[in-house]
Amino acid sequence: MRQPPFESNCDSQFFYESEAHGEALARLLYLVSDRGMGMGAMTGEIGSGKTMVLSVLLSRLRPDLYTSVKLHTAHLPFEHILAEINQQLKGKRNVAPHGDKYYLLKEFEQLLQDRILSIRKHMILILDEAQFLSEECLDELKCLTNYNQQESILTIVLSGQPELKAKLSALPQIYQRLGMFCHLKNLHYEEVPSYLQHRLKTAGSEKLDIFHPDSIDPLFSFSGGCPRQINRVCKLAVDRACMMKKEQIDADMIRMITHDIEKHFG
C-alpha cells in the first residue's frame, strides 16, 4: 500500500459515498449551488464523518465561482470569529488585532464588496463544531447574510453534534432561515465491507479481501457503523496482521482488539 488505509484524517480521496454520506453531500451541494437559501445545517454523532463530508464539499466547489472560509468555532466569541473570517478573506495567515465589532463589520462589508460581489463570486462560510456557539453568536452570524439585499452573496453552513439542532430549534429567527437541514447517520451493516475495500483500494492495496467476511459482525457490533470507530479498530488490525505476517484479518482478531480497547478505555 502507498499509505495507511485507516488513518483518522479527512483526506477527501478516502471519502466513501454511503447512502447517508451521499445524501448529506448532495444536500450541501444543492444548498451552495442554489445561492439563495442563506443558511443550512448538518448534524451527526461524534465520528460520523461530518468533517469529511465538508472536506469533500469544499473540494467540489469551483474556485472561479466560490470563495470558501472554514472555521473550527469551538467557544470563540463572535468578534473573534469575524476577525478570522476577515483574515481568511484577505488571504493572511497572521492574525492581526481584531479591533471592535463596528470596525470588523465594516471591514467584512468591504471585503464582501471587493473580494466577492465585484468579481461575481459567492462566499461559503462553514462553521464546524457549531454546537459550541452561543445563541447570541448564532444570531449575529445570521445577520451576516443580510448584507447586499439585491443579491445573495453568502451561504452559511453550520455543522455540529446533535445538540446543535436543539439549539437552533430554540431560535426561530435562525431555524426559520435554514434552507437545508440534514442529520448524518452511520454506515449500514451491509455497507461496511465495501467501505473497507474502498479504503484499502484508495491506499493502493491490490488485495481487497484482507478482512474475512466473519470479521464484519464483531466490527459492526463494536462500532455501530461509526466510521471513526471502524477506522480505529481496522488500523490496529492491519498493524497486528502485518506484525504476525497474517494474510487475512478474521473475527477472532477483531474481537481481541475490541476487547483490548474496552479493557483500557471502558
- Could you count the other beta carbons within 10 Å of the beta carbon of residue 135? 12
The reported pLDDT for the residue numbered 8 is 84
Is the pLDDT assigned to residue 98 strictly greater than 70?
A: no
Is the pLDDT assigned to residue 1 strictly greater than 90?
A: no
Average pLDDT in the chain:
93
The reported pLDDT for the residue numbered 97 is 60
The reported pLDDT for the residue numbered 75 is 78
Specify burial of residue 52 (Cβ count, 10 A radius: 0-12, 13-18, 19+): buried
Is the pLDDT assigned to residue 197 strictly greater than 90?
A: yes
What's the first-to-final CA gap in the chain, in angstroms?
A: 32
Average pLDDT of span 90-113:
84
Taking a C-beta distance cutoff of 8 angstroms, is the pair 236, 257 a contact?
A: yes
Which structural domains are found in the chain, ordered by start? 17-184 (3.40.50.300), 187-265 (1.10.8.60)
Taking a C-beta distance cutoff of 8 angstroms, is the pair 129, 81 a contact?
A: no
What's the rounded Cα separation, in Å, for the pair 156 and 121? Answer: 15
